[in-house]
Amino acid sequence: MGRKKVEIKPIKDKNSRQVTFSKRRKGLLKKAKQLSILCDVDVAVVVFSNHGRLYDFSSTNSLVEIVRRYHNHVEAEKEISADVSDTEHSKYASFMTVGELLQTVERRLEEPDVDGLSVTDLVHLENQLQSALMQARSRKTHLMVEYIKSLQEKIAMMKKNREVNGMASDFTNLAPVRMICGQQRAMLNFL
């Protein structure tokens, strides 16, 4: 809607792209606000300029709230049938290790290219780093669970030895050692 019809394809000219971005971004956020008011619904819009700047609108106080609802929605729809950690693991198993990742980053940052890294490159790197974070998040629960298991085993062995030696123990009436496994573990990961 302007002096002439424009095709919806990437605008090459850097300058007019910036102008269009500014105008249409403003328009989009305005429309979002109108929709939320007119129809009494929750709307969130997030825009990342390719220079990393963030523009957003949210009908509720914080966008985080809508994001949470989105997550709930998505999570609720994917069956919680399988072990969450296993799912996550297979999903991210093919990514680089954190070590490899850091090496890649360092290598890239040393490249003496004209303008350094392209936006596309940076986006790719960011995604790789994010994947590594996902791995870490998944492994957190795994490691804690394993550590707990090893401690439980130690205790079991010590108790056994003690019994063999026929000694009274103050520890037998402590709360029973519950194993953490399966569903419980999936729950921990989910949280």
Residues engaged in binding DNA (CB under 7 A): 1-6, 15-16, 18-20, 22-24, 26-28, 30-31, 34
Nearest approach, Cβ of residue 44 and DNA (Å): 17
| Residue 156 interaction partner, one of a copy of itself, DNA, none, beta carbon < 5-8 Å per kind | none
Tokens of 82: 């399988």
Picking from 63, 44, 24, 48, the residue whose alpha carbon sits closest to that of residue 122 is 48
Choose between 20 and 131: whose C-beta lies nearer to DNA.
20
| Residue 183 interaction partner, one of a copy of itself, DNA, none, beta carbon < 5-8 Å per kind | none
Q: Give the C-alpha separation, 163 to 127, whole Å.
A: 54
Q: Applying CB under 8 A, which residues contact a copy of itself?
A: 6, 8-11, 17, 20-21, 24-25, 27-28, 31-35, 37-50, 54, 56, 63-74, 119, 126-127, 130, 133, 136-137, 140, 144, 147-148, 151-152, 154-155, 157-158, 162, 165, 167, 171, 174, 188, 191
Q: Give the C-alpha separation, 170 to 187, whole Å.
A: 33
| Residue 37 interaction partner, one of DNA, a copy of itself, none, beta carbon < 5-8 Å per kind | a copy of itself
Query: 15 in helix, strand or coil?
Result: helix
Q: Give the C-alpha separation, 63 to 179, whole Å.
A: 38
Q: Give the C-alpha separation, 1 to 23, whole Å.
A: 12
Residue type, 14: K
| Residue 15 interaction partner, one of a copy of itself, DNA, none, beta carbon < 5-8 Å per kind | DNA
Picking from 108, 189, 111, the residue whose alpha carbon sits closest to that of residue 145 is 189
Nearest approach, Cβ of residue 59 and a copy of itself (Å): 9
Choose between 7 and 79: whose C-beta lies nearer to a copy of itself.
7
Picking from 46, 21, 19, the residue whose alpha carbon sits closest to that of residue 32 is 46
- Note the Cα 5 to chain centre separation in Å: 40
Choose between 3 and 178: whose C-beta lies nearer to DNA.
3
